[in-house]
Amino acid sequence: MGRSESARILRFAAIGGVSTLIYAGVTLALSDRDGFGMPATVASIAGYGTGAVFSYCGHRFVTFMSDGAVGFEIIRFACATAIGFLLTVGLTVVLADVVGLPALVPVAMACTLVPALNFIILRQFVFTAVVR
């Protein structure tokens, strides 16, 4: 695998894309209008958590190929993930629960905004011990 920044961005897109699909799939499968009857906010929390586990492993080992201390990186990853999580849940609460839009609307917005924010945070704050 290439270690150039362009190769890293492609790996990020692949891992992030799968993480995003996991989030969207779980959220929509569990949500009240589209699946198992859970409120959209609860479904979004479950979806985000599931995608976050995949995201950490994929970004640590594939995207950034980090050799940093797991304890250090996982705490920072949790902080970074919390930011995306709060944005995702906030969108869901406001748009689905309060406004009454279908769960697909906040899911689509989160699938656009969170990945861009994540690349910046993960690259600059979390995986700082990247193998060059």
78-127 pLDDT tens trace: 999 899 889 988 999 999 999 999 989 998 998 888 888 888 899 888 99
CB 76 within 8 A of CB 129: no
More confident residue, 111 or 53: 53
Sign of CA dihedral 57, 104, 43, 95: positive
State the maximum Cα–Cα separation within the chain, in Å, rounded to a whole number.
48
Tokens read off for 51: 């995608």
Task: Tell me the residue type at 47.
Answer: G
